[in-house]
Amino acid sequence: MQTDESKIKWRQFISGDNDSYSWIYSTYVQVLYRYGLRFTADSEIVKDCIQEVFTSLYKNKNHLITPDNIKVYLLVSLKNCLIRTLYKESLYDHELPENIQFSLEPTVEEEFISNEHYANQQKKIKEILSLLSPRQKEIIYYRYIQELSMDEICILMNLNYQSAQNLIQRSLKKVRNSYNSIEMFLLILSISLK
């Protein structure tokens, strides 16, 4: 669906609609930026090349056709611009295009966002866990982190089966009331505690 909308906007852009041009830019600029950082850590070079790609598109809109895939077209345009720029900047001495570095390592920006997201998740988990009693925390840990059976939990906690079930249900109800998604909470909890 995104591709169909992109093609419609592209056709409108080459027909002279500046709003469609803005839509294309805002839809793809972050994708292009993250892609460009795979070739160089110099964010200014990446930004300049994105600007060059979109300036060139605008100047040549009367000669453009609608590509099969707008995103791929823009990625190729950015890659070509980056390669030319990196050669000019002498960052690559006579390297063939297939030898230019491409990083799959997270960029500093991606790591920062990931770390911030992780910290926010941890904070939320701590808030929710603070609502649970020690026994509720213990049973959640056994059931969802250690993935023990109810029979094993009953032995560990010295509970009968019904009491264990009730304790889990009360615990999950508290989580649901504060987190809205038990599944997501349990997934985040399991990732952070394993």
User: What pLDDT does 1 receive?
Assistant: 41
Taking the C-alpha atoms of residue 41 and residue 108, their distance in angstroms, rounded to an integer, is 9
Taking the C-alpha atoms of residue 181 and residue 171, their distance in angstroms, rounded to an integer, is 13
Q: What is the pLDDT of residues 6-48, one digit of tens each?
A: 899 999 999 998 999 999 999 999 989 988 887 888 889 999 9
Taking the C-alpha atoms of residue 149 and residue 121, their distance in angstroms, rounded to an integer, is 27
Amino acid at 22: S
Q: Helix, strand, or coil here: 100?
A: coil
Q: What is the pLDDT of residues 84-104, one digit of tens each?
A: 888 776 655 555 444 455 554
Distances (CA, A) of 122 to 46, 84, 159: 33, 44, 30
């989580």: which residue's tokens? 175
Is-above-0.95 flag for pTM? no
The gap between the terminal CA atoms of the chain, to the nearest Å, is 38
Check if the beta carbon of residue 101 is closer than 8 Å to that of residue 39.
Answer: yes
> What is the domain partition of the chain in residue ranges?
2-99, 108-193
Taking the C-alpha atoms of residue 30 and residue 109, their distance in angstroms, rounded to an integer, is 12
CATH code: domain 108-193 is 1.10.10.10
For the chain, the C-alpha Rg in angstroms (whole number) is: 26
CA angle 66, 71, 55 (to 5 degrees): 75
Distances (CA, A) of 5 to 1, 27, 62, 139: 6, 11, 20, 49
pLDDT over 90, % of the chain: 27
Average pLDDT, whole number, for the chain? 78
- CATH for the 2-99 domain, from 1.10.1740.10, 2.20.28.120, 3.40.50.300, 3.20.20.70: 1.10.1740.10
- Is it the case that residue 110 has pLDDT exceeding 70? no
